[in-house]
Amino acid sequence: MTIRRNRALRGAIVGFGNVAVHGHVPAWKTDRHFTILAVCDPNEAQLAVAAELLPNARRYQSIDDLFSNERLDFVDVATPPAMHGEIVLKAAAQRVHVLCEKPLTLSVEECNRIRSAASAARVVVFTNHNWKYAPIFRTAKRVLRRGEVGRITHLELQTLRVQPPGGSGNGDTWRLDPAQAGGGILVDHGWHAFYLALYVLDAQPVAVSARTARRKFVTSGVEDTANCTIDFDGTTAEIFLTWAADERRNTARLTGTQGTIEIAERTLVVRVAERAPVETVFAQPLSAGSYHPDWFAALLDDFREELYEPKLRGSNFREAETCCRLLELAYRSSGADGARLPFRETLPPVEGAGTGD
Ligand SMILES: NC(=O)c1ccc[n+]([C@@H]2O[C@H](COP(=O)([O-])OP(=O)(O)OC[C@H]3O[C@@H](n4cnc5c(N)ncnc54)[C@H](O)[C@@H]3O)[C@@H](O)[C@H]2O)c1
């Protein structure tokens, strides 16, 4: 479905919880290219919040009512993960474009169905890979492109949290419920780490191994801690994630053939032999808040370009598809005592990309 540039794009938010309220609405309200004309959430209290924040948006408690009553260009899906796939497929069946919160979906099988449905309907399915739009990772990418630290041979990414987001800290959050979350911290933060690794390394995975554990939320049905190693051709990414830490912190370290880039919260340091380290300090630490409205606002430019320009479609979907495969392999590896599993399947091209349709 091709979209004309001479009017604001009409959208609906599906799932009006924390990320919609704190992460998405501020950007939707200030971007003149988009207008949110409806909100859908089964929870009446959340619809009351929507009435305050978006008084002109119509409100629905079911997605079927939403699609029956509204003419939409896109939906912004921000429900818990287990519902994403079904909602994305319904939107594609209506020939409505999708901006979906991460994780796009929880299984490769459903991801394949989303690919087919989106291709058949010629709609964009774009996943919110917002950490790529954090100024500190953008800067790291520019340093890499300039070749200052050479070829990256090793990447470490760490996310430390004292509890999952939402809830009171006693385990009363859907993130610890496998039926809604579809997994634990690998689904929640692992997905971010996967696309960040793909972004900074610009390479395809070769093999994956992972181990997961329950260290703090031991009676929950999901892991609160994960170690995951992804081998790329000539590079290894080591990912460590936990909700059982005693501090809240994000760090990354990229080791190159000629130097290193160290990221810790709001600080980025580039070290190259025979030169004084170059430090850049950013306004916000990476772990400040959980919803990052400024990163979401920056991502909307790329979403809009995919809507307007079918030739540009596919790279975000391919990234999400790779994250989905990494996620499935990581859980499979964890169930096989950390076995190193090959990432061998070739991904088919995304239909509609490059056709000029
Ligand atoms: N990209 C990021 O940085 C980031 C940050 C936080 C959350 N998220 C993601 O956003 C999504 C939502 O997380 P949250 O923290 O806002 O959760 P939340 O629980 O605060 O909000 C979820 C909302 O979805 C609604 N909902 C449930 N089932 C629904 C359905 N079938 N149709 C419509 N609405 C439905 C709930 O009533 C609730 O209001 C998750 O996928 C999460 O992983 C991403």
Residue nearest to atom 2 of ligand 1 (CA): 291
Minimum mean pLDDT range among 124-138, 219-233, 334-348:
334-348
189 lines ligand 1 (CB under 6 A): no
Structure tokens at 124: 């964009």
Mean pLDDT of 11-40: 97
Residue nearest to atom 31 of ligand 1 (CA): 83
How many Å apart are CA 352 and CA 307, to the nearest integer? 12
**Residue from 14, 16, 19 whose mutation best tests the ligand 1 pocket (most atoms within 8 A of CB):** 19
Confidence check: pLDDT of 351 > 70: no
Q: How far is CA 323 from CA 146, 155, 204, 283, 304, in A?
A: 27, 17, 11, 29, 22
Mean pLDDT of 83-93: 98
342 lines ligand 1 (CB under 6 A): no
Say if residues 114 and 90 touch (Cβ distance below 8 Å): no
Q: What is the pLDDT of residues 263-273, one digit of tens each?
A: 999 999 999 98
46 lines ligand 1 (CB under 6 A): yes
The alpha carbon of 294 and the centre of ligand 1 are apart by a number of angstroms equal to 18
In this prediction, residue 33 carries a pLDDT of 95
Q: Which of 199, 194, 198, 126 is nearest to 159 (CA)?
A: 194
- Spell out the domains of the chain, with CATH numbers in brackets: 129-357 (3.30.360.10)
How many Å apart are CA 66 and CA 53, to the nearest integer? 19
Q: How far is CA 273 from CA 90, 150, 258, 270, in A?
A: 54, 11, 7, 10
Structure tokens at 200: 């900074």
Query: Residue 218 carries which DSSP code?
Result: T
In this prediction, residue 7 carries a pLDDT of 87
pLDDT band of residue 353 (cuts 50, 70, 90) is very low
Q: What is the pLDDT of residues 315-348, one digit of tens each?
A: 999 999 999 999 999 999 999 999 999 997 655 5
Confidence check: pLDDT of 352 > 70: no
How many Å apart are CA 38 and CA 60, to the nearest integer? 8
291 CA: nearest ligand 1 atom? 5
Neighbours of 226 (CB within 10 A): 27
